[in-house]
Structure formats: C-alpha cells, structure tokens
Amino acid sequence: MEVKLDPWGSSQIEDYSKLFEEFGISRFEEILPEIEDPHPYMRRRIIFGHRDYDVVLRAMKAHRPFAVMSGFMPSGRAHFGHMMVMNEIIWHQKHGADAFVAIANMEAHAVRGISWHRCRELGINDYILSLIALGFEPTGHIYFQSENYRMRDLAFELAAETNFSEVSAIYGFSGETSIGHMESVMAQSADILHPQLPDYGGPKPVVVPVGSDQDAHMRLTRDLAYRMRKFLVEQREGYISIRGKAAGPDLIRAAADALIDSGYRIKQYSEHIDLFDGESADRIDEIIREVEVKNGEFGFIPPASIYHRFMTGLTGGKMSSSRPESHIALTEDPDEAASKIMKAITGGKQSLAEQRRYGGEPERCAVYEFLLFHLAEDDRELEELYGECRSGRQMCGSCKKIAAARIREFLREHQSARRDAVHRLKEFGLKL
C-alpha cells in the first residue's frame, strides 16, 4: 500500500472520507479555497468533511444572516475534543454568525441517567465557563435544553412528523428504549432547527460543527427540515416545478400570487405550479419559502454541517471522557496534564538507535497530534517537526518536553480566563 506523506496526516482522512462518501458527506478540501482566512482546523484538514457548507459560506461572504449551532452533553469533563467544537462555534461567531449552544441536559438525563443537578454543575463549570474563556460573545445564546421552551415546542412538532420505525432504523431503538431517549433525539433536531424560528429572524443557513459520530442526527434533521416544507421546488428540463407536497389550495394560491407579483410567467395546476422563465431554482425556492413563512409555516433550510477528525487517546484508542488517562480535561491540573503528555504513546521506535535509523511515525503519535490540533500555531514549525521526526533527527523525549511545556502554559492561561468568566456568567443570562 502506498502511504502518502503529509504533515496534516491525511492518510487518516482517507479512511474517514471513504466511510462518508457512502453517506454523502462532501470533502472539505473542495471548498477550502473559497475561505479567505480559514481556521487552522480547516487549513490542517482536521475538518475533513461537510454537508452544504457552501450555502453557509455564501451567506457569510454576502453578510446575510446565518447561524452556527452545536451542543454538548454534560455527562463528563470537557476535554480538548470538546474544545474543538467550541473553537469552531466561536470562529463562526466572529465571522458574523448568530451563535447557539445547547447544553444537552435532557439527553444526559434520559440517556445517561445523570441528575439535573449534576447536569447543571457540569454544564456551567466544564462547558460554559470554558466556552466563554475561549471567546464566546454574549451576543450568542447558551441554553440548557430543559429550559428552552421554543426548542421544546419545536421538538414536539418534529416528533409529530417522525415515527418509531424511522428512528429505530437510524439509532437502533427497540421496544426497550425509553421514550425519554427518543424525545432527546427530537430535542437535538429541534436544537439544530430552532435558530430558524421567526423569533430568531426566520429561515437562514445554519452550520453545525460536530464530530463525525453525530452525522446520523444531521441526516435525520436535514430530512425533517425538508419534511416541514410545504413545497418542493425543482429544476426540470426547460422549467421549474413547484409542487405543493403538503400545501392546501390556499397556500398554492398564495404561492402563485407571489410569483405573479414578482413578474414570473407561470401555469397553475391544482397541486403544482410550473414556471417558465430562466430563473434559478434557488431564487424561486426563496420566494416560495417566504410565502410559507408568511403563512405560519417553518420554511426550514436544511442545516449544514462540518466534521472534524477525532483526536486519538493519549494511551492509544479513542479519546473518551470516561477514561481520564485517555484525555486531558480543560480543568485538569497543568502539571498533571504535562505528565500525561510525558506518558503518552508516540510514533517512536523501541530504541534511540532504531529511531535514528528508521525515523518515527508522526501520524501515529499522540504527541504530534496534540501539537497539530492545539499546541503549534505555526504551520512551518509543524512541517519541520514532521520532517525531522520522519528522518530520525527528532527524538520523542525532547518532543514530549516541548508539548508538555506548552500544554502547561495553555492550561494555566485558559484556567485563569475561566476564573474571569465566572464573573461574566450574568452577561449570558446564567448564574453559577
């Protein structure tokens, strides 16, 4: 097998891409050139895939409204994996997005049996304080699922359109699955769609930064967004078809009127409208969506998503909140964190002599990965380290020392910013 060498470790990305092409995830690389100042996660191909992110980029560039939304389940300590989602939310907020963050306490309670009290504690202390410390601005919205009744009302609406066979096919639910668990799935879809409610300015592109494990939720939610639409607008050969897939006669009439008012030539039938001008289907869909919203419907745009690679655990395998030795928490004692780095698995060889001779394998090294994901701002530095490691000029001991010193310093600063964030909670409508 040919191994492609690349400091961003895209040999791993290949595995992901293959997996996801089956599900229709697009390669992030393809739209990367359209982003003026990509986040390092984008530049370094840590974000490897997306759905419909071009729609979000278009809104971002045109200074039209768009939103970023993601959620955290308060079931354990927040670690560097969670921090990636936080940074992605904040990046979009800085680029003009209305930002929404759910603390998924309904999910944690129903699925993991965590008490409401503990959810609140973890939510505020581990997730929200770090989010604020990393730069989340009070113009955004942070909420606990159980307290957001706009979202919960929407969850009910979505549940009315979803049946058991469907969710059991997606999530493997059985007769034993609690209804609360199912409700928490609807809550996640409602989390993702509620930024498009009239209270927040109506339909708009929304991007959901997540790990690729959440893609099933995205597929369901995008499907639900489509299902809540009353019309389907499609380009056909020589005309645009506007089918009232769930629209009554009044709504069809309202749509026809709106199109005529905008000066289009149409032919109206009982359940659909054909339009013959050389207009783009997207523009017509926009007009139809407005008609839906004016008539009290949702008119949702399917939410977009971006997917990042997971970090490997410090001890190999997956990084997991439930195994302290596998991750470094954002609240971890900085010295303890440094010592975890010193003990982490590397891509080094058994002996120094072998390492000099054959070189190390940065793509299988948890220390290199920490530098790549979080601890090296300079791309050139990484490229150099990659080359030095591969060629056997870099030894793991000194490499670890650099990473350990950086993580110690990072955590000291982050934790001091977290202490300041305690006094800022009220700006976000929250208290300890």
Residues that bind ligand TRP (CB under 6 A): 69-73, 102, 104, 107, 188, 191-192, 208, 210, 214
76 binds, among ligand TRP, ligand SF4, none (CB under 5 to 8 A by kind): none
> What are the residues whose beta carbons fall under 8 Å from the beta carbon of 170, sequence distance 6 or more?
216, 219, 220
CB of 355 to ligand SF4, least distance (A): 7
Q: What are the b/e assignments for 217-239, b being 16+ CB within 10 Å?
A: bbbbbbbbbeebbbbbbeeeeeb
Which residue type does 293 have? Answer: V
CB of 340 to ligand SF4, least distance (A): 14
What residues make contact with ligand SF4 under the rule CB under 6 A?
Answer: 346-348, 360, 362, 365, 367-368, 389, 394-396, 399-400
119 binds, among ligand TRP, ligand SF4, none (CB under 5 to 8 A by kind): none
Residue 76 C-alpha from the chain's centroid: 19
- Which is nearer to ligand SF4, 158 or 396 (by Cβ)? 396
Per the CB < 8 A criterion, the answer to whether 367 and 399 are in contact is yes
Tell me the pairing of strands 98-103 and 141-144: parallel
> Which of 212, 215, 195, 217 is closest to 204 using CA atoms?
195
Per the CB < 8 A criterion, the answer to whether 231 and 245 are in contact is yes
28 binds, among ligand TRP, ligand SF4, none (CB under 5 to 8 A by kind): none
CB-hemisphere CA count at 13 Å for 197?
17
- Which is nearer to ligand TRP, 87 or 188 (by Cβ)? 188
- Which is nearer to ligand SF4, 79 or 400 (by Cβ)? 400
Phi, psi (deg, nearest 5) at residue 275: -125, 130
CB of 367 to ligand SF4, least distance (A): 4
**What DSSP element (H or E) covers 156?**
helix 149-159
Tell me the pairing of strands 98-103 and 67-72: parallel
- Which is nearer to ligand SF4, 251 or 385 (by Cβ)? 385
Q: Tell me the residue number closest to ligand SF4, measured at CB.
A: 399
Pairwise CA distance, residues 347 & 389, whole Å: 9
188 binds, among ligand SF4, ligand TRP, none (CB under 5 to 8 A by kind): ligand TRP
CB of 6 to ligand SF4, least distance (A): 14
CB of 179 to ligand SF4, least distance (A): 48
Pairwise CA distance, residues 422 & 130, whole Å: 10
360 binds, among ligand SF4, ligand TRP, none (CB under 5 to 8 A by kind): ligand SF4
CB of 6 to ligand TRP, least distance (A): 29
- Which is nearer to ligand TRP, 188 or 326 (by Cβ)? 188
Q: What are the b/e assignments for 308-340, b being 16+ CB within 10 Å?
A: bbbbbbbeeeebebeebebbbbbbbebeebbeb
- Which is nearer to ligand SF4, 252 or 372 (by Cβ)? 372
104 binds, among ligand TRP, ligand SF4, none (CB under 5 to 8 A by kind): ligand TRP
Place of tokens 């992605």: 88
Count of positions (residues) in the chain: 432
- Which is nearer to ligand SF4, 290 or 361 (by Cβ)? 361
394 binds, among ligand TRP, ligand SF4, none (CB under 5 to 8 A by kind): ligand SF4
CB of 100 to ligand TRP, least distance (A): 9
CB of 221 to ligand TRP, least distance (A): 8
133 binds, among ligand SF4, ligand TRP, none (CB under 5 to 8 A by kind): none
